[in-house]
Structure 1
Amino acid sequence: MIMYSLRELSLEAKVAVGSGVVFFSMLISRTLISESVDMDTRAALYRAQFLLFINSVMLIASLYVWRRMTGNLCRVRRVSQRLLRCWKMLVLLFLVLSHSSYVTMFYLVAEEPHWVAMLSFTCLGSYIILLFFLFLFSCVEQCHRLVTRRAAVSDTSTADSGSRAKVALALALTLVLTALGLLNAARPPVVVRVEVPVDKLSPSFDNLKLVLLSDIHLGPTVGKSRLEMVVAMVNELQPDIVVIVGDLADSQVSRLKSVAEPLRRMGSRLGTFFVTGNHDYYTADVDSWLGYLRTLNVMPLHNANARISASEQSKEWFCLAGVDDLEARLFKYPGHGMDLTRALSGCDPDRAIILLAHQPLAAKRALQERPEISLVLSGHTHAGQIFPLSIMAYLVNPFFSGLYRVGNRSFVYVTPGTVYYGIPMRIGSTAQITEIILKTP
């Protein structure tokens, strides 16, 4: 009975069912997997499940793109069969490259980005934009028919001509936005100066310079030269403190050890600090990363805090705390998971508290639980990175990008990120190094 029902489903529906099966297998394996299983096995299982899931979901969209991009041309008599075959091969190559992007995320990581990784992730960015416009124009057409109470156009040639025009427009917009996105992402991050009044901050820390970095995403499309540029820009600012609020890497330490080496040259008078992001856990190598960062003079705040003093002799200090990313518990990392009580242990509520928390949702929860926190620094959203993903990023995050006042005395600052994730494009957002000047109220 079940097999007969499956045979009756369309190809898209079958793929959707398969995607659901893979997704629930991921949840079940996260629940049942023993903590005694070594991290290499966990990493291999995660990579296999992730690649299978993301490509099965993309396959549904790819079938839609394929039919929209090639269907109408088959009915055009003026198009030669050779030209039609070439176009189909081009569309197929584009889809294959888009699907292979996440394969390079796990298996094509080197000191500098490989051209195959750059090409495949560029295709993925274009794929997302093209899919959005194809779907949008289709929805607009259907809504127009409903509003005007018109049935489907009886003249097939006229309908096909209109459909081809919409596809051509979607393709043109995709090419333009792809080019603009590539140019924007290739530029160095902009330095943005923000003054933040910090409640209970001692006058001795007035005008303290804190440089905020996030979402560097060392991996298949972000290499050593990009990190060297970021470090050089940070050092020019002569910061008192540097903080990296998660998503430093997208692969294991063994593959990115030399890529992360420039962090050793990061200059900061009072120290450089790090908290984990969700992608740091996706590497399945987070403990190795925390250990390696310590050798680079970067101090992880693993549900911990540090007392920041202006000098060794000064009795004035504030608490700089950091929490693990929210998704650590989802992936069942032993000893990891957001623990605000532990992170703030020893912090004086009568002194300023600055919290590092990768996700804005963690910032919201932290302030709900401990409203005495003066300032929370987050990343994660990338300010959407590329349109139309910015729409979803805006809707699912309580804080999107920039400075937010929470209550009477607390602030949240969300950086749009220092580089980019995977897709070497930025549309409607800009990579940023944030120079935060702490001010006494």
Structure 2
Amino acid sequence: MLTAIKSDGTWITLPEKIPANLLAEWRKSTDYYCPCCKMEMSIKAGNVRVPHFAHKNNSSCRASSEPESAYHLMGKRKLFQWFSSHGYQVDLEAYLPEIKKRADILATIGGNRYAIEFQCSVIPEIEFIERTRAYQSVGIIPIWVLAAKHLKRKSVYEFSLSGFQWLFVTGSCHHPFLWMYCPETNHLSVLKNLTPFTPRTVFAELTTASLTLLPPSRALPQNCFHFPFLPAWRNKRKDWTLHRVKTARRSDPFFEGLYLHHITPAAIPIEVGVPVRGMLLIETSPIEWQAWFYMDVFQEKKPGEKISMADIIHFFKKRSKKGEIKFRPLPLLHEKPVEYPLGQYIKLLEKLGYISKEEEGVFKVEKAFSIPFTSDHGQMMEKNFYDKHKLMMEKGNIQYNRG
């Protein structure tokens, strides 16, 4: 911790560096107490350690349950200075007695209160959600900022996000993003245009700016007016159809489903595994949940036959109840029903001419999906499909800031 209460009731915030003579004087001049649990604290500092307060005795204080690294201490101090240097009302390590939580930074902007949490260590999902809900219960908007050093980048547009990192996604289904910060470079980064391919693999755009050049009022990421991931998506999909079976478990229900429906991974219909808006709500790979739709609803239908949205949702929920389609917990994202990406997929199929709307909630099958017979045939079909529908799919996946 960087703040404490002195014996006379006044607050003290430790500076980044303390001369040895001043440190000795501060240690002798008064006692220091935790703002949260009121237990006695001492100043920890040295040649390596960042000056900070620590409880003298083992404490169950929530504020001290997470060991704070020098990286974390430096980060929240710099973020605090960033807000205060632009004239915002801001408190460092503000304790909120009504919810018994301590925010790294509490800022008041435009009449709203924001709790900024700079998170450098992994905490349980349930704790992340509980802290988020606690802030929201008292009208405080939580902003979780991920330590930038933990981001795993595979290529220009490809990243790997753990389940814990996905919790940081904020914004909306139409414009999701997550904040990251590195105190060592003093750079704030945004990962936006999030387009997940598997539970961990995501295509996204990374933008970075120095806090010295970026005022908080301009930190919100701009809308995405293009969708540059389609070539990489196609390559990833091709690799999946050729190699995913090699790592599949023998008892994997998805591959059992393919077998029972006489489909090999290499012969999955070209229309299965396409990007659609809002699919980050579903943790299961889009190839898999769209294939379940095909096997459950579409495969046995002939042109002219009807499909109801009620049946589509019924099978979708049945698969999710069995754990074959899983949803991604996104506590910071504006609410959308988990069926939303499924609805977007249905709309795409309608635009592509595979189904047509007969009446509200009822569709007529217009043509069958494209089933490749050989690998070469599949590559040719895939190329023709994306060449024909490239602009439509890119336009359909452009993300913008709408509820």
* TM-score relative to the length of structure 2: 0.28
Bigger Rg over Cα = 2
* TM-score relative to the length of structure 1: 0.26
Structure showing greater relative contact order (alpha-carbon pairs closer than 8 Å, 6 or more residues apart): 1
Which structure shows the bigger proportion of residues in helix conformation?
1
Which structure shows the bigger proportion of residues in strand conformation?
2
